[in-house]
Structure 1
Amino acid sequence: MVELAALPTEVILYVAEQLQSQKAINWFSQTNRRFHCILDPYLYRFNAKHRRASALRWAARHSNIEVARKSLDGGANIHIRAKICPHLNVFQEAVCARNRIKKWLARPCHPNESRRQYSLRVHDMPCPKNDAMLLFLLERGAYVDSMFKSRETPLFAAVNQPDTQLVKLLIENGANVNFSNDVGNTILHEAVTGCNAWVVRFLLENGASVHSRNVFGCTPLHLASRGRILVQLWANIERSNCLPGMSSRFCATQCRRKLLECDADAGAKDPYDPDVRCEVVQILIESGSDLEARTVDGVTPVLFGALYGAELKVLRVLVENGARTDIEKPDGTSLVSLAESRHELTEILIANSPQPVDHD
């Protein structure tokens, strides 16, 4: 063993080069401390060249900066994607691991805690190791706006959860706040449906446009004015699909059908705090949102909200800020016609109707 330990470095590396597997090289490197010091960098080079930088992807998932640094120094490509999950690059794997890490660190739900409250508590938790990993990857050339298979960036995921710390980190490192996905939804469109006033305000302070429209003509105010409906659940399912070769839209459609077969209520009560939703709507209005902006179907935010299950107090905020209540769709749908099935809408119509003039 003494003679083996005294072998020249060139000979040790030559022997390692004759080994065909990463496991064999790893075993050889554990012969003694000197071998490990010599072969550790070679092992990372081998991994980068022959194992699609699996060490770097592992480091990203587990927030291990030391391993990530060694892997990159060994020639790993920071933009490489895994074979089994080809739509995720290294930076995206680190982003996706964040929520798993937080849930592992968080205590289970308290007896009187709702799922919504637990979710917000988890997302608001500090996650310094993951923060450090994301910053390290960005410093080494990761693209902050790299797109998932759903054609959305990490900032979309951050505002949807919502993860306020991740939102701040991504924007401060150059994330595009006006990036839009395939249907034209911008980051702000996504943020207003998550009903977190801080996230919406922070996006606006950093240049997000309140006038952006998706392919249906909806502005962020339209989406903020409605209730939380099943279509948002389908979007979450689409984002989580990571099976290669399977259409994410197919998965979303199948899930929607199954939910409805099980009597899922597309008009179920909005699980988000209506007061927070009202605050988000008010922030958008104060930032210059057009109260009379129309979708391609001719629907304004107040009518859109009435159509899609908005709470009465949300609609009241729109009307009190000047939204018209006499708008009709081309098919004749209006607040008046909707009031036949949603009787509480008559309160808004009566409050906004012209008062008779007293000639006495």
Structure 2
Amino acid sequence: MLDTLPNELLLDIAKCLFTHRDINALARTNRHLFSLVDPYLYRSNPHESSSLALSWAAKHGRVETARKAIERGASGACRVLKKGSCTWKGYGKSGNSPGCTPLFQAIVEGCDEVVKLLLELPTTDVNHHGLYSRTPLFWAVKRSHYSITELLLTCDGIRPDEVDENGSTPLSYAAEVDDNAAVDILLGSDKVDADWRNAFGRTPLSLAAEEGNVISAWQLLDSGKVDPDSGDYKGQTPFSWAAKRCQFEMVMFLLDSGKIKPDSRDGRGRTPLFHAIQEAPLPYSNNEKVIQAILDLDEVDPDAADEDGMTPLACAAKSGNSTGVQLLLDTNKVNPTRTDRNGLTPLHHAAYMGQTEIIRLLLSRDDVDPNTPDNDSCPPLTHATMGGHKVIVEELLRSKKITDIDPRDVNGRTPLWWAVGTTISLWARQL
């Protein structure tokens, strides 16, 4: 019956329909209605439903549909407004988003041809910050769509170093996750700053070093575009980060490159050795191998103090890194009784922190005096009671090296005073 109606009336009927789904259903009734109503559907779409046809085509890789929508005025700057029409597979996001443009959807789904069409539109913003404040280039890198990454880098006006909400650029992200293909493509563009710093002063090389991504680090160093000793806002270099995270292969790679200073100091005057030794190692980590690799270097001073006068040995004793303490002592290049600016020795630090194994290591040496007072006249025994460590008190007393079990600090307080003050009655009786 519809076929008998004049075309003008059929178009009026289409205009009275509220949704484009209903208009599309009418168009699909027969060939005549399709040829008549389909052009109207595309013409009305850009103005009434924020170019849903173009967004749908971008999401599903339908090049012809995208071309038709563009020819009839669809904008590359439109946003998807229909709930559920914009999805990000693997990211747990769906629904409305101001960043869900057709270009965004085409890139996420890897639709190269649709991306090419959209990039030809003057309304398409290649630097638009969408979901998580990431640009189209960032999403192309994150989804490992390398041909689209290359295509975007050729665009006039693209700013490839735009950051996301985490402060990462496409290159820093690629280096951090060890996406070597993406790193290679990005380094091949003169538009990309290979030594760009994030809000914490971290460069792509620094992030790659922390994660142990040797190939990415090699790509960055080989590009000749990065400073291998660039410090972050704390002055920590890529080598320091590799040492800190016990990335043994990265440590050896950076050392073998001959491009780094293994004894460089950060803002606190600490060398990479400090960072390798400052925390107790996790089980099965390469901490011992990293420390030994650094200690084997002639240019590294294992007893170099930081701005507070603390040495790597004191740092290891404080943190409970017994392996590090033993390795340092084995070098015969460190002074186990060296004091910091507060007069604290490694034994003081170990006593206060309750590091039993390290206390035993230090007390076994003839050159360690457990009676040495700090600037407040407190020996290690006092620090052990301050910290509330009964076992440490027992170890110190058992060593037979304590010459005075009742030393007074500058305020006249004794270890017994601290023991009672901390309600450790058993210790009080023992003392």
TM-score by length of 1: 0.67
Contact 2:231-2:266 at 8 Å conserved across structures: no
Contact 2:78-2:102 at 8 Å conserved across structures: yes
2:262 matched residue in structure 1: 325
User: Would you say 1:92 and 2:104 are equivalent positions?
Assistant: yes
2:295 matched residue in structure 1: 350
Contact 2:57-2:66 at 8 Å conserved across structures: yes
Shift in Å, 1:186: 2.8
Structure 2: give runs of 5+ residues left out of the alignment: 84-95, 282-286, 301-431
Q: Distance in 2 between matches of 1:168 and 1:23?
A: 36
Contact 1:82-1:89 at 8 Å conserved across structures: yes
1:291 matched residue in structure 2: 228
Q: Distance in 1 between matches of 2:273 and 2:27?
A: 78
> Which residue identity lines up with residue 176 of structure 1 in the other structure?
R
Q: Distance in 1 between matches of 2:151 and 2:274?
A: 46
1:149 matched residue in structure 2: 131
Contact 1:178-1:187 at 8 Å conserved across structures: yes
User: Would you say 1:179 and 2:177 are equivalent positions?
Assistant: no
Given the alignment, which residue of 174, 179, 192 partners 2:175?
Answer: 192
Q: Distance in 1 between matches of 2:25 and 2:249?
A: 67
Structure 1 residues 91 and 349: alpha-carbon distance in aligned structure 2, compared to 1, 3 A threshold = same
Structure 1: give runs of 5+ residues left out of the alignment: 99-129, 228-273, 356-360
> Which residue identity lines up with residue 117 of structure 2 in the other structure?
F
Shift in Å, 1:329: 3.7
Structure 1 residues 319 and 205: alpha-carbon distance in aligned structure 2, compared to 1, 3 A threshold = same
Q: Distance in 1 between matches of 2:120 and 2:276?
A: 56
1:75 matched residue in structure 2: 73
Q: Distance in 2 between matches of 1:19 and 1:339?
A: 70
Q: Distance in 2 between matches of 1:198 and 1:31?
A: 49
Q: Distance in 2 between matches of 1:28 and 1:296?
A: 63
User: Would you say 1:337 and 2:310 are equivalent positions?
Assistant: no
Q: 1:312-335, CA deviations, whole angstroms, 9 ceiling, x for partnerless residues?
A: 121122223231222344456543
User: Would you say 1:133 and 2:117 are equivalent positions?
Assistant: no
Q: Distance in 1 between matches of 2:19 and 2:188?
A: 52
Q: Kindly report which structure 2 residues correspond to 1:125-274, keeping only aligned pairs within 5 A, or say none.
A: 130-141=111-122, 142-174=124-156, 175-181=158-164, 184-207=167-190, 208-227=192-211
TM-score by length of 2: 0.57
> Which residue identity lines up with residue 177 of structure 1 in the other structure?
P
> Which residue identity lines up with residue 327 of structure 1 in the other structure?
S
More deviation, 285-294/178-187:
178-187
Given the alignment, which residue of 48, 54, 61 partners 1:56?
Answer: 54
Q: Distance in 2 between matches of 1:303 and 1:23?
A: 59
SS of 2:220's equivalent in the other structure is helix
Contact 2:167-2:198 at 8 Å conserved across structures: yes
Contact 2:243-2:273 at 8 Å conserved across structures: no
Over the residues paired in the alignment, what is the CA RMSD in angstroms? 2.6
Contact 1:48-1:76 at 8 Å conserved across structures: yes
More deviation, 33-42/179-188:
179-188
Given the alignment, which residue of 211, 214, 217 partners 1:281?
Answer: 217
Q: Distance in 1 between matches of 2:21 and 2:143?
A: 39
User: Would you say 1:306 and 2:234 are equivalent positions?
Assistant: no
SS of 1:150's equivalent in the other structure is helix
Shift in Å, 1:23: 4.2
Q: 1:140-177, CA deviations, whole angstroms, 9 ceiling, x for partnerless residues?
A: 34222222132221222233343323322322344433
Structure 1 residues 349 and 40: alpha-carbon distance in aligned structure 2, compared to 1, 3 A threshold = same
Which one has a bigger Cα radius of gyration? 2
Shift in Å, 1:43: 1.8
Q: Percent identity?
A: 27
Q: Distance in 2 between matches of 1:221 and 1:308?
A: 14
Higher relative contact order (CA 8 A, sep 6+): 1
Contact 2:229-2:261 at 8 Å conserved across structures: yes
Aligned length: 273
Q: Distance in 1 between matches of 2:226 and 2:19?
A: 60
Structure 1 residues 301 and 25: alpha-carbon distance in aligned structure 2, compared to 1, 3 A threshold = closer
> Which residue identity lines up with residue 295 of structure 2 in the other structure?
I
Shift in Å, 1:139: 1.9
